Amino acid sequence: MLTLEERLAVVNLYEELGSYRAVAAVVGCDHKTVKAWLERSRRGEAMAGVVRGRATDPFRHLIRERIEMTAGRVRGRRLLKLRRAAGYTGSLRTLQRALRIEKRGWQERQRRVYRPWYSAPGDFLIVDWGEVGKAATAAGQRKLYCFCAVLGWSRWRYVRFFTCQRFQVLAQGLAACFEAFGVPAHVIHDNPKTVTTEFVAGLSVLNAEMVRLAKVAPCLNGDDAGNAFARLLPVAAGLASPSRTATTSPMSATVLLITARQTGRTITDLDDHQCLDSTARIAGGGGDILPTTENDMPDPLQTARQAKETAALLREARALLRRIDKLAAGAEGMEPPTPAMVTALREQADRLVHHLARQEHNLQQRTKQAIRRGSRT
């Protein structure tokens, strides 16, 4: 059978050659086929080919039913016996071809589509913990934990570091997160003992301290008039909450990213994480790094003085970097150093500038936090 392009070529070639056999020799078909298509063209019939029915067309619905019944596991030889009894007269190969087409369609209908989970604004806040390394404290090396919270709608992230996961620390992280984002209608979390004490009939029993914490956090979402306080939903509570996969995916991504960036490191300062710039603002997120206790809060004047001194050192370091560039170009009136020396000097200066810029930023943030804490007290 000729394709549509070949049929159109037959008409054009016949106008040029004027012979059925000449056109057939060019196209590669019989001259009677050329004559038949030209006669159909003269009668004004469509150039599309005649679509013949298949021997399996009357049994298509039966094939689909068998595929649905067996979850796509039915085989052609087994199906042939059943179709013979129903009056099928075609071959096994024809039935297998139709079965393969129907199975492909069934697989497309059964394929799971993964879509990101989004809640309504102000509805859900997802909270989780992650272990990201160790920190040097007065009591020695302590494990460092990452408190991470993600808003279900905007995907804004709040990240804070602690050296334990006690309830007081969890409450401090939630309070600071509520201060930054507001209080959502629901807080979704895992089932640690600080949140869930036991399970009764498959439902989680919340910690009494957590219930008291929820009662002092008024809900800002006005769509539920009967819900006066933020509801804390454990993942296994079985209530009307999103699936575990949907809620833990954004949390796992953040915790895994922080862990990957801190593998093998011993943290001497919480600011070493650079979380505000490198992690908490991923995908439009926001974050904050606060000291663990109030005793760690610096004096605003002292921190501002340190920030001013750091800014002066940063200016000197940048001037040094510019002078190295001039040295490399021979603009200082002396013989330029070797490329290896210039590269080493530039790398050292770059590291110094980066360190001072990070330190200046952290000091500014700590100054703002101290001022805000002082204004609240």
Mark whether 209 and 65 lie in a shared domain.
no
Asked if residue 116 is part of any domain, the answer here is no
Mark whether 289 and 304 lie in a shared domain.
no
Task: Please check whether residue 292 is in contact with residue 163, taking contact to mean a CB–CB distance below 8 angstroms.
Answer: yes
pLDDT at 99: 92
Backbone angles phi, psi at 52, to 5 degrees: -90, 145
Length of the chain counted residue by residue: 377
Rounded CA separation 254/247 (Å) = 12
Mark whether 38 and 184 lie in a shared domain.
no
Asked if residue 119 is part of any domain, the answer here is no
Mark whether 170 and 201 lie in a shared domain.
yes
**Is the alpha carbon torsion for 364, 369, 373, 376 positive or negative?**
positive
Asked if residue 51 is part of any domain, the answer here is no
Tens place of pLDDT per residue across the chain (377 aa): 567 677 778 888 888 888 889 888 888 888 898 888 888 888 776 555 566 778 888 888 889 999 999 998 999 888 888 888 888 888 999 999 999 999 999 998 888 777 777 778 888 888 888 888 888 888 788 888 888 888 888 888 888 888 888 888 888 888 888 888 888 888 888 888 888 888 888 777 888 888 877 765 444 433 333 332 344 544 433 333 454 445 555 566 666 666 555 444 444 444 444 443 343 333 333 333 333 344 444 455 565 666 667 677 767 767 766 776 666 666 555 555 666 766 766 676 676 666 667 776 776 676 666 666 555 54
Mark whether 106 and 131 lie in a shared domain.
no
Rounded CA separation 345/77 (Å) = 76
Mark whether 162 and 286 lie in a shared domain.
yes
Is the whole model's pTM more than 0.75, yes or no? no
Mark whether 62 and 144 lie in a shared domain.
no
Asked if residue 50 is part of any domain, the answer here is no
| Structural domain containing residue 36 | 4-42
pLDDT at 151: 86
Reference 271, options 257, 287, 250; nearest CA is: 287
Rounded CA separation 146/257 (Å) = 11
**Is the alpha carbon torsion for 263, 265, 269, 271 positive or negative?**
negative
Mark whether 129 and 252 lie in a shared domain.
yes
Asked if residue 216 is part of any domain, the answer here is yes
